[in-house]
Amino acid sequence: MQIKRHILGALVVVGALAGASAALAAFPEQPVRLIVPFPPGGATDVVARVLAVRLSDDWKQTVLVENKPGAGGNIGAAFVAKSAPDGLTILFASPAEVAINQFLYPVMPFNAAKDLAAVAKVASAPLVLVVNAKSPADSVQSLVRQIKASESGVNFASSGAGGPQHLAGEWFRLMSGTKMTHVPYKGGAPAVTDLLGGHVDLFFSGLPPALPQIQTGNLRALAVSTLQRSSLLPQTPTLAEQGFPGFNIENWQGVFVPSGTPASVVEKISRSIEKIVTNKSFSEQLQQQGAAPAYLNERAFGEFILAERQKYSKLVKDAGAKID
């Protein structure tokens, strides 16, 4: 009788493992929605579309990119947070939605720490401080002098209140001791458009929307926001090189799913992303867009997010930034 119980128990375990393996292999059995909480054309959207094509090929299933912009990314993120936890609705996030907005907004439509589960970090890129080519500023220090000479100060754009572009501008304002007014947009592309039109004075842009305009001479790159220079802009110095020690903001993108999504599904998505991100052709495609592969699995990415929240919590407090 004891032996039979052991055999029965072993069969149950084997059956459970087989079932989990089958579920892992089967996912996804229907089209997947990859939600981008910003408009088309910005840094997050560009990288998401590159990833979606590769995921579709890997899964032999359609992966549709859907843009749900607004409220600094909160609308799209909340949509995913409230979706069924089946892995079929995925958030392609930036720092704003999961690491910054909770410290800026008095009321949030979701709880990033409780409602979303980290799956994988995908890509990383610096921000680039750009001005209109007609601006007299040809360096960060000359830009600071220009701002201080202005009685009313200047306007700086962001791709949405609470995003890394916003916080980069606030940090720059603090460190430079200048007067600047934040003008949020619903994505990087419209911010670049208004910078070209002379409606705002500067922008800490993601590389994808700014790089073509830099290359054609319509925008002037003054600095990058990370501690290392960008391989796509090797002649553009970092802010740290220009009198802003320790200035380091990374514009990363990563994947999240609703909390409660089965671990087997999270694992399948993360494994697929690892295979894609470590592929040389994907890396080359990202680099053409101004980004670099930066894979972290679900556990490491979760730890990374905790550190990001600590960093931005302090920065928001020091800057006195808030969104009503």
187 vs 15, more confident: 187
Band the pLDDT of 2: cuts 50, 70, 90: low
Question: How many percent of the chain have pLDDT more than 90?
Answer: 75
3 vs 37, more confident: 37
| Interatomic CA distance for residues 185 and 161, integer angstroms | 8
Tens digits of per-residue pLDDT, 124-164?
989 999 999 999 999 999 999 999 999 888 999 998 777 88
pLDDT at 43 over 50: yes
Task: Write down the CATH superfamily of domain 126-242.
Answer: Periplasmic binding protein-like II (3.40.190.10)
Strand residue runs (E) in 160-218: 180-184, 202-206
Question: How many percent of the chain have pLDDT more than 70?
Answer: 92
- HSE at residue 288, side-chain half, CA atoms within 13 A, is 8
pLDDT at 39 over 90: no
Tens digits of per-residue pLDDT, 229-250?
998 899 999 999 999 999 999 9
| Interatomic CA distance for residues 141 and 145, integer angstroms | 6
Residue 245 confidence (pLDDT): 95
Residue 3 confidence (pLDDT): 58
Residue 279 confidence (pLDDT): 95
| Interatomic CA distance for residues 164 and 72, integer angstroms | 10
Cα→Cα distances 321→105, 168, 273, 301, 318, Å: 10, 12, 35, 26, 8
The residue ranges of every structural domain in the chain are 28-125+250-319, 126-242
| Interatomic CA distance for residues 179 and 174, integer angstroms | 9
Mean pLDDT of 251-262: 96
Residue 151 confidence (pLDDT): 83
Amino acid letter, 29 = E
Residue 17 confidence (pLDDT): 45
Comparing C-alpha atoms, which of 61, 59, 55, 99 is closest to residue 77?
Answer: 99
Flag the least confident range among 119-123, 248-252, 273-277.
248-252
| Interatomic CA distance for residues 167 and 278, integer angstroms | 30
Mean pLDDT of 173-187: 92
Band the pLDDT of 181: cuts 50, 70, 90: very high
Tens digits of per-residue pLDDT, 52-82?
999 999 999 999 999 999 888 999 999 999 9
Residue 4 confidence (pLDDT): 57
Mean pLDDT of 82-103: 95
pLDDT at 199 over 70: yes
Task: Write down the CATH superfamily of domain 28-125+250-319.
Answer: Bordetella uptake gene, domain 1 (3.40.190.150)
Please tell me if the domain spanning 28-125+250-319 has the same topology as the one spanning 126-242.
yes
